[in-house]
Amino acid sequence: MFWPDTISKKLGIQYPLIQAPMFGVSTVQMAAAASNAGCLGSLALADLSADQYQSVELIRGMKKLTDKPFAANIFVHHIPEVTEALKEKFIKTRQFIEKLAGDHNIEVHLPDLEEISVHSYHEQVDAVIEENCKILSFTFGNLDNESIQKLKENGVTLIGTCTSVKEALLLEKSGIDIICVQGIEAGGHRGSFEADHIPQIGGLSLLSQIYDQVHVPLIYAGGIYGARTLQAAKDLGASGFQLGNLLLASQESALQPFEKERLKKVREEEIVLTKSFSGRYARGVKNQFIEAVENSEYILPYPYQNKLTNALRKAAKSLQNPEFVGIWVGQSIHQYSELSTEEILKNLIKECERKITDQ
């Protein structure tokens, strides 16, 4: 048998393939398609509010499209205190970005600090329980002990994200059921516990080290785009495999056609780690905005930079301008198929199963 069954049995899925919860790229339709293909769809709730118009509405929408298991995914980041220094920096950063946008013919009004709302993950924990979601994955840190206990009392399986051995050990010690090991190759935001520090460890090296030191099942994320890359992760101890880059251009992706075209032309030297759009390190395609803002004084701590630049990214999307949107992508460049999520996953499953029969 090609597929490890530890995670499949634990999560009640046919194949231990997890669709990555790529907030802003993945959709309810993508997550449902992954679940309906016998894999685990991930509903990206990020740091949305828990009311019926955001997180709860998405969870209910997911349940209308599939009766199969799926994971809700949330951000558990630290929210920085709003100090006078932060207020001053916010004003300067907003003015700089508005001028930068204007210089490139993008007219946009960015929000004042008072207009930005940030949400603690605790209300989402309650929503997950109330909506009877049985799998919760999370990133950017660890849940507090009270939330872990509350979720476990309600039969929720917990999947934490790590980018170092130290983070993996902390997750295991706190009782997290499954750990997703995110390699440095992975596209999008780093799952690191500290926003300003990311361990520079290659994914397969990290996976093998964590496998030797923890005793819970491991999902590997980062650079998987075919049978050989998946086999490598399997050989090093992964029982599950998270796929994001593979699904970026799928039919259900929220990326617009001009963004998908940019992906197909990307070169390896254009893929960079940057804090410019969000205030946390994310891997994506270098563009004019990143070049202007990265290593400048105009980067606020997450989530304030992320909230501030949201309107700019929307305006750039409406103009089909790839130079002012965050196009997140991993280091493994491939063909970026525009088939449906279900077809892409089924093709990968067939490729993997052919590999074992050919051996």
CATH number of the domain that 187 lies in?
3.20.20.70
Do 182 and 203 fall into the same domain?
Answer: yes
Do 210 and 321 fall into the same domain?
Answer: no
Do 149 and 222 fall into the same domain?
Answer: yes
Global pTM reads 0.96
Do 148 and 215 fall into the same domain?
Answer: yes
Tell me the per-residue pLDDT of 44-85, one tens digit each, with 9 for 90 and over: 999 998 775 689 999 999 999 999 999 999 999 999 999 999
Q: Burial letters for 20-38: b for 16+ Cβ neighbours within 10 Å, e otherwise?
A: bbbbebbbbbbbbbbbbbb
Do 100 and 124 fall into the same domain?
Answer: no
What is the reported pLDDT for 119? 85
Whole-angstrom Cα distance, residue 75 to residue 207? 22
Share the mean pLDDT of the chain. Answer: 95
What is the reported pLDDT for 154? 98
What is the reported pLDDT for 358? 63
Whole-angstrom Cα distance, residue 35 to residue 41? 5
Proportion of the chain above pLDDT 70, given as a percent: 98
What average pLDDT does the segment 183-200 reach? Answer: 92
Position 98 confidence tier, pLDDT thresholds 50, 70, 90: very high
- At residue 160, the 3 state secondary structure works out as strand
Do 192 and 175 fall into the same domain?
Answer: yes
Tell me the per-residue pLDDT of 151-165, one tens digit each, with 9 for 90 and over: 999 999 999 999 999
Closest CA to 21 of 37, 38, 56, 45: 45
Q: What are phi and psi of 84, to 5 degrees?
A: -65, -40
For the chain, the domain total comes to 2
Do 288 and 195 fall into the same domain?
Answer: no
Domain that holds residue 278: 81-117+256-326
Tell me the per-residue pLDDT of 256-276, one tens digit each, with 9 for 90 and over: 999 999 999 999 999 999 999
What is the reported pLDDT for 50? 76
Do 104 and 158 fall into the same domain?
Answer: no
The three-point CA angle 203-163-124 to 5° equals 130
Asked whether residue 196 carries a pLDDT value surpassing 90, the answer given is no
Position 126 confidence tier, pLDDT thresholds 50, 70, 90: very high
Do 242 and 358 fall into the same domain?
Answer: yes
What average pLDDT does the segment 214-232 reach? Answer: 96
Do 101 and 221 fall into the same domain?
Answer: no
Residue 9, token pair as written in the block = 């049995």
Do 98 and 9 fall into the same domain?
Answer: no
Which H helix or E strand runs over 275?
A: none
What is the reported pLDDT for 51? 72
Q: Burial letters for 156-181: b for 16+ Cβ neighbours within 10 Å, e otherwise?
A: bbbbbbbbbbebbebbbeeebbbbbb
160: Cβ contacts below 8 Å, ≥ 6 apart = 137, 138, 139, 142, 143, 171, 176, 178, 179, 180
What is the reported pLDDT for 359? 57
Asked whether residue 175 carries a pLDDT value surpassing 70, the answer given is yes
Do 171 and 247 fall into the same domain?
Answer: yes
- Name the more confident of 128 and 357: 128
Asked whether residue 355 carries a pLDDT value surpassing 80, the answer given is no
